Amino acid sequence: MHRLNCICYFYKTCCDPYQYCEKAKIMFESHSCNSNCCKLCHQNKVSVFNELDAVTLDKLDAIKSVMVCSKGSVVFNEGSFPKGLFCIEYGKIKITQTGLDGKNQIVRMLKGGDVLGHRAIFGDDEYSCSAYAMEDTKLCFFPKNQFNSISENNGKFIHKFAQILAAELKEAERKITSTAQQSVLCRVAGSLLFLLENYGFEKDLQTLNVRISREELAEMVGTTRESATRALYQLKNASIILLNGKKILVIDKKGLFDATV
Amino acid sequence: MHRLNCICYFYKTCCDPYQYCEKAKIMFESHSCNSNCCKLCHQNKVSVFNELDAVTLDKLDAIKSVMVCSKGSVVFNEGSFPKGLFCIEYGKIKITQTGLDGKNQIVRMLKGGDVLGHRAIFGDDEYSCSAYAMEDTKLCFFPKNQFNSISENNGKFIHKFAQILAAELKEAERKITSTAQQSVLCRVAGSLLFLLENYGFEKDLQTLNVRISREELAEMVGTTRESATRALYQLKNASIILLNGKKILVIDKKGLFDATV
DNA sequence: GCTAGAATGTGATTTTCGTCACATTTTTAG
DNA sequence: CTAAAAATGTGACGAAAATCACATTCTAGC
């Protein structure tokens, strides 16, 4: 099933460094995985690896490990030094930062095809954030030194990362402005819209394709759990969304958009 | 004085595109300028151009224009498309974004040696922010297409920009967290500390080496002019700073640091 | 399918901060 | 130098959101 030159880590919830874990192994095997080969990966078309030549893809394949993280796992911790670059095959990752009194702030939300660890690697820096799997997630891992020697002489490849960093910077700066200027209600509406754009709907074309707790929504928005809850119910009372446990259904996308200003 | 292969724009306050301006010309000539040559520029050591080989520096010199902006000038406008990359020889630039009801948010503050326009260029995007000169500022300008063809085959050069973007992203994400979680007083203290780290002191070793209005401070912090004023006076009453018109004197740096949490 | 623990909803209260209004000071242009 | 405009300081007030407390509901693990 998996290629011989791929080492497979099985990742155990909340353990660092990565360890073998029976549950992760079962997850790993239960998925109809692709060949664990970058060239054949269905994320190839959307990820930073698109447009890469076959030779570079082979090199990347040769150095990579594959790992599976169960929901809640830590991928890396704020303050530690990056050992390499991660690329998501499937799953969802939240990137969080610790603020006052250990209160978390979610600064990015990732999905299949996205990379993580690149900020610290290109910044030549420790991780400024932690990364957690929000659901069972499969990642590929490229050790830093080997990754660097592959990218080093490939201006196009580095340029692609610069492009990603530029897009992330744009989004972060926009978030500074909205956090500073908008009400909690507007920010909650904006975050739901972001989740919709980023993760899309489930098959019913109404339910947001991500399970997020009230606490996490509050951490995205930069408010308290209670205020996030109240904002959600305001949107519900305005017939813009429906709530069903952790499911959030968007029934009036335009209304949601209008609520962001 | 200036090299023949350097075109000099003289920049007129608030005019776009850049125009000849008598005042700017006088400013330009009154400064004992260097040769307008990247190789000899004193910012060479700190800017993205450090470690560049002589050949590349010569190429950059050949394509660049030099311009001087008087205080208050617009360097570029949010929403327009980048025509090239700027590098500051001296002066100070604020990068702002328009939020609700046209309220500004300052997202970055730049100084000699810093570049601007790189986010939009590497993001292949329009400007997501506007740039204003906070004081008389001298910039070098590198037209986009020519800049791209020089950087294209220079992985190290692009890598340097990725490094800058990574550092800016780190700072932006940290600012999201503080804006979301900290009180106005903490954020004002934090901004003063940032201004100190970024611009340093004047010769008296107490006065912040930047003139910033209450309004601008509020725009950095993400609050109102009145709240920013009140926070400044709280710090003054705590004998952490002194206020003298637009001058801000830091007399207790540790106290300022303690006030950020 | 039970049960403990986690997550959520909700009212009451307090705190922070924005808004408004206007006096005062500083800066700028002529 | 002077008038006008811009920037600043400050009190009163109200709105938004944090905090606290606790009831209720959901969920994971046995």
Least CB–CB distance from A161: residue in B100, B151, B162: B162
Taking CA atoms, A34 is separated from A29, A51, A111, B11, in Å, by 11, 20, 17, 58
pLDDT at B4 over 50: no
Question: pLDDT above 70 covers what percent of chain A?
Answer: 87
Predicted confidence band of residue B6 (pLDDT cuts 50, 70, 90): very low
Predicted confidence band of residue B62 (pLDDT cuts 50, 70, 90): confident
Contacts of A163 in chain B (CB under 8 A): 122-124
Interface test with B, best of A107, A176, A223, A227 (most B CBs within 10 A): A176
Q: A93-107, B66-80, B216-230: which range is least confident on average?
A: B66-80
Buried/exposed code over B194-206 (b: 16+ C-beta within 10 A; e: otherwise): ebbebbeeeeeee
Angle of CA points A157, B48, A156, to nearest 5°: 10
pLDDT at A30 over 70: no
Helix (H) or strand (E) holding B138: strand B137-143
> CA of B154: which chain A residue's CA is closest?
A155
Q: What does pTM read for this prediction?
A: 0.91
Sign of CA pseudo-dihedral B81, B87, B89, B90: positive
Q: Tell me, what's the pLDDT at B18? A: 54
User: Residue A1's CB: how many other CB atoms inside 10 A?
Assistant: 10
What is the phi/psi pair of residue B256, to 5°? -65, -45
pLDDT at A27 over 60: no
Angle between the B54-63 and B144-152 helix axes, to the nearest 10 degrees?
A: 170
**What is the rounded average pLDDT of the residues B147-176?**
95
Span CA (A224) to C1' (C13), Å: 17
**What is the rounded average pLDDT of the residues A110-137?**
95
pLDDT in tens, B173-227: 999 999 999 999 999 999 999 999 999 999 999 999 999 999 999 999 999 999 9
What is the phi/psi pair of residue B105, to 5°? -125, 125
Q: Tell me, what's the pLDDT at A67? A: 86
Question: Is the Cβ–Cβ distance between A105 and B177 less than 8 Å?
Answer: yes
More confident residue, B23 or A16: B23
How near does any CA of chain B get to the CA of A50, in Å? 16
Q: Tell me, what's the pLDDT at B28? A: 54
As a whole number of angstroms, the distance between CA A15 and CA A73 comes to 8
What is the phi/psi pair of residue B213, to 5°? -75, 165
As a whole number of angstroms, the distance between CA B26 and CA B44 comes to 25
Span CA (B176) to C1' (D20), Å: 27
What mean pLDDT is reported for chain B? 87
Predicted confidence band of residue A38 (pLDDT cuts 50, 70, 90): confident
Predicted confidence band of residue B16 (pLDDT cuts 50, 70, 90): very low
As a whole number of angstroms, the distance between CA B35 and CA B214 comes to 37
Total residues belonging to chain A: 261
Contacts of B167 in chain A (CB under 8 A): 123, 125
**What is the rounded average pLDDT of the residues B90-112?**
93
Contact B169 A168 (CB under 8 A): yes
pLDDT at B172 over 80: yes
Contacts of B163 in chain A (CB under 8 A): 122-124
As a whole number of angstroms, the distance between CA B208 and CA B200 comes to 6
Question: pLDDT above 70 covers what percent of chain B?
Answer: 87
As a whole number of angstroms, the distance between CA A208 and CA B186 comes to 36
How near does any CA of chain B get to the CA of A155, in Å? 4
Contacts of B128 in chain A (CB under 8 A): 170, 173-174
> CA of A223: which chain B residue's CA is closest?
B180
Predicted confidence band of residue A104 (pLDDT cuts 50, 70, 90): very high
Sign of CA pseudo-dihedral A218, A221, A223, A227: negative
Residue B255 CA from chain centroid, whole number: 27
**What is the rounded average pLDDT of the residues B46-71?**
87
Residue A117 corresponds to which amino acid? G
Per the structure block, which two tokens stand in for A40?
């054949």
User: Residue A258's CB: how many other CB atoms inside 10 A?
Assistant: 12
Contact A99 B182 (CB under 8 A): yes
DSSP character at residue B85: E
Q: Which nucleotides of D are covered by protein (CB under 7 A)?
A: 7-12, 16-21, 26-27
Contacts of B117 in chain A (CB under 8 A): none
Determine the 3-state secondary structure of B150 from DSSP: helix
Interface test with B, best of A78, A157, A181 (most B CBs within 10 A): A181
As a whole number of angstroms, the distance between CA A95 and CA B221 comes to 24
Angle of CA points B150, A122, A8, to nearest 5°: 125
Span CA (B67) to C1' (C30), Å: 29
DSSP secondary structure letters along chain A: ---TT-EEEE--TT-SS----HHHHHHHHHS----S-TTT-GGGGTSTTTT--HHHHHHHHHH-EEEEE-TT-EEE-TTSPP-EEEEEEES-EEEEEE-GGG-EEEEEEE-TT-EESHHHHHHTS--SSEEEESS-EEEEEEEHHHHHHHHTT-HHHHHHHHHHHHHHHHHHHHHHHHHHHS-HHHHHHHHHHHHHHHH-B-TTSSBBSS---HHHHHHHHTS-HHHHHHHHHHHHHTTSEEEETTEEEES-HHHHHHTT-
**B97 closest CA partner among A217, A155, A38, A172:** A172
**What is the rounded average pLDDT of the residues B110-131?**
96
How near does any CA of chain A get to the CA of B230, in Å? 18
Contact B99 A261 (CB under 8 A): no
Q: Tell me, what's the pLDDT at A14? A: 36
Per the structure block, which two tokens stand in for A64?
């990579």
More confident residue, A2 or A42: A42
